[in-house]
Amino acid sequence: MSKNKKHTVKCCNCSWNGCEDGLVKFGEEGQYGDGYGGYGCPNCKTDEFLADVEKPKPQHTTGPWKANQPMQFQKDPIFWHVDVISGGVRVAQVSGIGKEAAQANAKLIEKAPKLLTTLKELIAEIETDAVPQFIKDMLAAAKKLTDEIESEV
């Protein structure tokens, strides 16, 4: 076990939670072949019940996202900005030189959740050796989204 690691472990026997630095040495080798190398729970003095605690992955704000109308910057009218909203919360503010560029940038950001979902579905279909028609359908959905991004500006 590397004592330099700073991830959290828990004891499933006594519910102790702590950093690996809080484990105590109780023997030469870990009995259970789990990589703790003779270090265990300070209460139970064993590594039998230890488990790594994984941090939850951050999640993006769920869609749909909607682009508001473009607005000019007051201090520099060449620049425009567009807020992208989800559930009343601004998830992004994009800018561009000119109204059309700001709108195009906002539309791309607005479609991000759907693009991500479509890409994940496409990957899942390819990984499961789906029949070619499924792949064609998913590619058509991706093409439709990219067409929407380009045509809605």
Same structural domain, 79 and 134: yes
Number of domains in the chain: 2
- Residue 57 is assigned to a structural domain of this protein: no
Structural domain includes residue 48: yes
The pLDDT tens digits for 106-133 are 999 999 888 888 877 876 666 555 557 7
Residue 25 lies in a domain: yes
In a domain, 59, yes or no: no
With cut-offs at 50, 70 and 90, classify the pLDDT of residue 153: very low
DSSP helix/strand/coil, 31: coil
My answer on whether 101 and 139 are in the same domain is yes
Tell me: pLDDT of 83 over 60.
yes
Rg (the chain; Cα; Å): 26
Whether residue 48 sits in one domain with residue 16: yes
pLDDT of residue 44: 82
Q: Are residues 130 and 90 in the same domain?
A: yes
What is the pLDDT of the chain when averaged over all its residues?
Answer: 78
Q: Domain of 104?
A: 66-151
Residue 1 lies in a domain: no
Specify the amino acid at residue 150.
E
Same domain membership, residue 86 and residue 12: no
Q: Structure pTM? A: 0.50
Task: Characterize 66-102 residue by residue with b for buried, 16 or more Cβ atoms within 10 angstroms of its Cβ, and e for exposed.
Answer: ebeebeeeeeeeebbbbbbbbeeeebbebebeeeebb
User: Nearest CA to 52 among 71, 68, 36?
Assistant: 36
Whether residues 76 and 41 share a domain: the answer is no
In a domain, 61, yes or no: no
Judgement on whether residues 43 and 74 belong to the same structural domain of the protein? no
> How would residue 75 be classed by pLDDT, with cut points 50, 70 and 90?
confident
pLDDT for residue 31 is more than 60: no
**Could you say which DSSP state residue 68 is in?**
-
70 and 141: one domain?
Answer: yes
C-beta contacts of 130-133 below 8 A and 24+ residues apart: none
- Helix, strand, coil % over all residues of the chain, rounded to 5: 35, 25, 45
Of residues 36 and 52, the one with the higher pLDDT is: 52
Could you tell me if 84 and 143 lie in one domain? Answer: yes
Q: pLDDT band for position 66 (50/70/90)?
A: very high
> For residue 2, what pLDDT is reported?
44
Q: Who has greater pLDDT, 118 or 4?
A: 118
Do 70 and 145 lie in one domain? The reply is yes
Task: Decide if 109 is inside a domain.
Answer: yes
